[in-house]
Each structure stands twice: as structure tokens, then as C-alpha cells.
Amino acid sequence: MRYLFCVVPSDAVPDLSAWRGDGAPLRAVTTDGMAGIVGEVDDARFDPEALARLTADVAALAPYARAHQEVVQFVFERATAVVPMSFGSVHRSDDDAARTLEAERGRVTTLLRRFRGMQEWGLRIARRRARVAVDAAVPGAGKAYLAGRRRELRGELGADASAAADELDRRLAATSVARRVLDEDAGDLALRVAYLVPLERAGDLKRAVLESGEGLESVGLAAELSGPWPPYSFAGGVS
């Protein structure tokens, strides 16, 4: 069976020969300006029933999803533009994979143009654990600490903390061409955002996060930047 990992421009297919992981050897299935990157996978592991079982078992799915992401990352690091395909895009033949590309041609070609020279970066802003000394000998100290912790988890940050998080988000948004909020106000998490960033602006993005570190820490927050990644968050569920 053929597994369709991602799509690149047909006139800029990277050298795929170095890939030695799942799906090797990778190759390109070309149609109408697009090149789908495909690999061979075992029929028994990727038939419809096996995939249905996987999607119902997160632990079993994890190594498959990781293998998918590793291939897309490999291609992304060598291509001018990459559109990741959704997990489980399995086909009986190269012709079947090409037909899938044709069915998605309008959207995929638009994304290829949009993603040329772009990277996805992720920002995670989290509440730091309270640094309150608890004296067990003081009556009610434990209850007071837990009450404060519950307030943190409910997102009851001060205005200065919210302003600091918003300011960093604005700075990163200014370096990007698109922004997508992935999650916010969940447990310790204050905000998780993805940014679509031109390659030449990645340095500005990293510098903004570094410069914000001390200010965020002073208001009880910490920021973590990750990337560069293929633009998963902006691919719109291409199948």
C-alpha cells in the first residue's frame, strides 16, 4: 500500500534518498504541479480495519503518528514548501494517490503557494508554580496555599500578567503572516498559539521570546517556543 505523507511543488521535489525510516524508500507521485511524497507501508498494518482500531487507541496510535510526522519533517527541511496530509492517507496504488491529489488540487495548490518559505512556530505560555513558602506549623497554611493554587488554575491572573502575555503574543503575531490560537486557560496553561512565519523573520520571533523571559517570570508566567515545524496548524485538515 502507498502512504501519502505530504505534498510539495512538482518543480521542486527534494532529494529523498537519505530517508531510512518508515515508508522508505520515499518517492514522488507527480500530477498537475503537485508532487505527493509517498512510501510503501504494510497492508495488514494500514488496512481500513487496522486504522479504525488505531484511532480508538491513543497509545497504539502514537508511534504511527510519530512516524508520519518524522517523514513530513524530513521533507519539510529539504523543500521550498510542504503541505502535510492528514494521518492515514493510504492508497492502493500511485494512481489512487494521484487521484486524491487531483480531488484536492485547488486547495493544495493554494496552500503550496501560501507555505513557500514559511515555517510554523508554537508558543506556549504557562503559569509558573507558586513560590510560596508553606510553614506547616502555621494553622491554615496548607489550606491557604491550596486556595491560591486553585485561583491560579482557574486563570485568575493579575492584569499585569495578562498584559505581559498579550504583549508577547502581539510581538510574535507581528513577525508572522498568520496566527492560530490552539488552546488557552487550561490548567497551568495560559495560552498556546501557532504562528506561520517567513523564514527570514524566525530570528525576530526567537529574539522576542528571549527578551520577554524576565518580564514574564516577574508576573508568574513562563514562555516556551517550539519549531520550526511544517505548517500543520494552517493546512486545514487536507486529507
Q: Mean pLDDT in each 10-residue stretch from start to end of the chain (239 residues)?
A: 96 96 95 95 85 84 93 98 94 94 95 97 85 48 57 58 92 97 83 97 97 92 96 80
The model's pTM: 0.83
The reply to whether 144 and 86 lie within a common domain is no
Task: Please give the single-letter amino acid code of residue 178.
Answer: A
pLDDT computed for residue 43 by the predictor:
86
Count how many Cα atoms sit within 13 Å of the Cα of residue 217 in the half-sphere of its side chain. Answer: 7
CA distances from 231 to 65, 119, 174, 189 (A): 16, 6, 18, 22
Angle at which helices 202-218 and 159-175 cross, to 10°: 180
Residue 210, C-alpha cell as written in the block: 528571549
Cβ pair 84, 232 in contact under 8 A: yes
pLDDT computed for residue 135 by the predictor:
47
Q: Collapse the DSSP code of 67 into the 3-class scheme (helix H, G, I; strand E, B; otherwise coil) and give the result.
A: helix
Residue where one domain finishes, among candidates 85, 115, 145: 115
The reply to whether 220 and 139 lie within a common domain is yes
pLDDT computed for residue 48 by the predictor:
81
What CATH number does the domain containing 127 carry? 3.30.70.260
The reply to whether 104 and 167 lie within a common domain is no
**Does 239 fall in a domain?**
no
Nearest to 33 by CA among 86, 127, 105: 105
pLDDT computed for residue 137 by the predictor:
52
Cβ pair 114, 230 in contact under 8 A: no
pLDDT computed for residue 131 by the predictor:
45
The reply to whether 164 and 207 lie within a common domain is yes
Q: Domain range for residue 91?
A: 2-115
The reply to whether 111 and 215 lie within a common domain is no
